[in-house]
Each structure stands twice: as C-alpha cells, then as structure tokens.
Amino acid sequence: MKKTGLYIHIPFCIRKCNYCDFVSFSDKFDYVDNYFSHLFIELQYVIDQNKEISFDTVYIGGGTPSSVDSRYIKQIMSIIKNRLTHDCEVTIEVNPATVDINKLSDYLIAGVNRLSIGIQSFEQDLLKSLGRIHSSQEAINTVLLARKAGFKNINIDLIYGIPSINGHNHQTLCDWQHTLEIACGLGITHISAYSLIIEEGTNVYNWGCEYIDDVLDREMFYKCKQMLEKYGFVQYEISNFAVPGYESAHNIRYWKCKEYVGVGLNSASYLNGVRYKNTDDFHRYIGGDYQDKNETEILDEMDMMNEFMMLGFRMIDGPCPEEFKQRFHKDFMDVFGEKLLDLSKRGLIVKTNGRYNLTPKGLDYANEIFREFV
Ligand code: SF4
C-alpha cells in the first residue's frame, strides 16, 4: 500500500482573529451539520477511489476543529480508521477556551495522538490586540489539561513580531522572552514560532498598524532559538522546534514534497504529480461541488525538482540528495550545481556530509534561497 498524508479542513472559528487570512468563518455555525455531511461524503469518496493508499499522517486543521462537537471528529476517525498505518501521527488543532477534559479524552479515544494548540502569546494585552478569544491563563490551563487527559505529543503555536495594533503596544523583546519562558516550562514537545506577516484583507491590514523593525524581528528569532535550544528543543525547520523524535511528520511530508490528500473546504491535494484544490466557496461546498476545476495543476519534472529544492531548504538539514536521486533518477548537483555553488559563495548554505544546509545567514535571508528555485 502506498503511504500518504491526509489533511481535513474544519472552517469554523468562534471569532475571526485580527491577523487571520485562513478560510474560516465565525458566522456559519448554523451550517455545521450540513458541512460535515458533505465532508463525510467527500472523505468516503476519497477512501473508495484510492484503495491503494494508507495514511501515515492525518492533520485535522482549520479554522478551529475544537469549536465543533467532538462527535464530528469521532465520525471522521471512524471513516478512516481502517486506512491508518499502525504508527500514524494524527494531529488536531485546538484553540484554548474551546476544549474541556471530556472533549480531549474523546479525541484520544478516537485515535488522535497529537495536539496542536494555537496560543500565539502569553501576554494578555497582545492576545487582545490579536483578537484571540482566550486569556493567557486559559492557554496555560489548556496545555495542562491536555497533559492530564493523556496527550504526550503537544505543539503550541506562537507568534513574534507583533506590531502595534489598534492602540495596543507592539510586542517587545521582553514580552517575547516571557512568553517563551512560560512555553518552555509547560512540558510540551513541539513549538512553532512564526514571524507575523500581515496579509491583505485581514483586520490588522485594513486598520493599518505600525510594523516592528526587521532588526527587532531577527532579535526575537535569535532569542527564540537560543532559549528553546537551552530547553532541549532542536530547530528542524525555519519556524519549527521539537524535542528530538517529536518533529511533525505531517509537515515534514509537505517540506519533502511527498504526496497528500486534502478533504474539506479549500483543501489542497498532491497526488501522482497533479496538484488540485477544493473550492473556497463555503456555499458551493455544502452544495456538493467540492473541487475547483480551475485549480488543477499538472507539474512537469522541472517544476517538481525546483519545488523539491525550495521546500527542502525550509528544513535546516536542506534537501536530501538520496531522496532526490530516488525520485528523479538524477544527481541534484547535475541539475542545480551552479545555483548551489552560488548560494554557498554568498554564505547562505554550506555543504556538510554531502548535504547542503542553511547557514545562520541563510536563515535570515531564506527568501533569497527560495527565489532561486521558483
Ligand atoms: S483561531 Fe486560527 S483559524 Fe480561527 S480565526 Fe484565529 S487564527 Fe484564524
């Protein structure tokens, strides 16, 4: 059986955060039942159409999957249970203030074994400026509750580089250090730390804000790396740190350009060299028209090789030459030798044990590396 990943999108959130540009809605809870009826139909269809596939990673994301009753998640798990590998990593995203011990236990019993908690900050004022629905204390309680329920593999998402929004102060290095200190004391296994990018169409973008400068943003990144490493986390991707052995297998699948199937609103799939996307129109989806025919892309070999390199350089170890050879029957030095030597000369990557890794400068200017492979 071919192993692949499965992404399931749950597009409901209690309130839209001020920086959020994900496909998620706070005004569509009346349609939850309707949405899931269609999600189950699509999921069953995917399972029936791909009999040769088993899933070794599942990611239930959103939106806020924990904002709906756990019976929907149990139903998802019961549809896919016969197609999961014995060691399948099953992650669900949760938002503090939308879970209790019963819901968390339901997830565990249903087969979810990894929790990703969107926290973003432990500073009360910053949580407010971001429009989060939970307090700092609720975020801490959620992590403790998750551990009490029996979750051993817990990620939290954090954000740095938060600008001054709507009269609130911008994030300081001291705020960030305080958030990291709390995070490191929670006994979790994974931390995703993202530099905030203000996307068009979000509240923050529309209101306007005073951005923090790049120097402070980089200082925050270095503070993060230094503190997390002190507490035993290892950076394995530009924004991701894990206790060794707890790296996100599902996300590594994306960065290694491996196949995945997406189900639900706006989800993307990549199978047999074809990338396709579902509609992002909620009412079209619950009308039974799932796929967006205009969003199908057949990748040629050069596209796939470029993508392999670009996404591979998101990981600190860089793209794997053996995997490249196995996939394309070519040596990546024969295809990209000149570019790699140029990036090395510019100090952005360095060759170690036959592999090109990002240097500290490469981490600061990663976009320059990615641009070479677009
Ligand atoms: S909880 Fe997540 S998906 Fe929902 S609005 Fe906030 S950032 Fe967006």
> In the structure, which protein residues have their CB atom closer than 6 angstroms to any atom of ligand 1?
13, 16-17, 20, 22, 24, 62-64, 95, 118
Taking all residues of the chain, what is their mean pLDDT, rounded to a whole number?
96
Quote the pLDDT of residue 62.
96
Quote the pLDDT of residue 307.
95
Cα 165 from Cα 360, distance rounded (Å): 31
Closest CA to 56 of 79, 86, 77, 81: 86
Quote the pLDDT of residue 1.
87
- What pairs with residue 355 in β-bridges? 352
How sure is the predictor about 304, in pLDDT bands with cuts at 50, 70 and 90?
A: very high
CA of 213 to the centre of ligand 1 (A): 25
CA of 119 to the centre of ligand 1 (A): 10
How sure is the predictor about 67, in pLDDT bands with cuts at 50, 70 and 90?
A: very high
Which of 16, 59, 128 to probe ligand 1 with, by most ligand atoms within 8 A of CB? 16
Q: Closest ligand 1 atom to the C-alpha of 15?
A: 5
Cα 81 from Cα 79, distance rounded (Å): 6
Quote the pLDDT of residue 258.
96
How sure is the predictor about 353, in pLDDT bands with cuts at 50, 70 and 90?
A: confident
CA of 98 to the centre of ligand 1 (A): 12
CA of 146 to the centre of ligand 1 (A): 20
Which of 15, 24, 199 to probe ligand 1 with, by most ligand atoms within 8 A of CB? 24
Q: Closest ligand 1 atom to the C-alpha of 131?
A: 6
Beta pairing class for 291-298 and 2-10: unpaired
- Alpha-helix residue ranges (DSSP H) falling in the chain: 32-49, 70-80, 101-110, 124-130, 136-149, 173-184, 203-207, 214-230, 249-255, 282-285, 301-312, 321-328, 332-345, 360-364, 366-371
- Which residue is closest in CA terms to ligand 1's atom 5? 16
CA of 11 to the centre of ligand 1 (A): 9
Cα distance between the two ends of the chain: 32
Domain 2-254: CATH architecture, name and number where available: Alpha-Beta Barrel (3.20)
Quote the pLDDT of residue 265.
98
What is the side-by-side order of every strand in the sheet holding 2-10?
Answer: 234-237, 240-242, 190-195, 154-160, 114-120, 84-94, 53-62, 2-10, 260-263, 268-271, 274-278, 291-298
Cα 188 from Cα 156, distance rounded (Å): 8
pLDDT tens figures, 102-151: 999 999 999 999 999 999 999 999 999 999 999 999 999 999 999 999 99
pLDDT tens figures, 3-42: 999 999 999 999 999 999 999 999 999 999 999 999 999 9
Residue 338 structure tokens: 């000149």
| pLDDT value at 338 more than 90 | yes
Q: Closest ligand 1 atom to the C-alpha of 21?
A: 8
Quote the pLDDT of residue 354.
84
Poorest-pLDDT segment among 177-181, 244-248, 289-293: 289-293
- What pairs with residue 277 in β-bridges? 268, 292
Residue 89 structure tokens: 């990593």
Quote the pLDDT of residue 294.
79
CA of 12 to the centre of ligand 1 (A): 9
Domain ranges in the chain?
2-254, 318-371
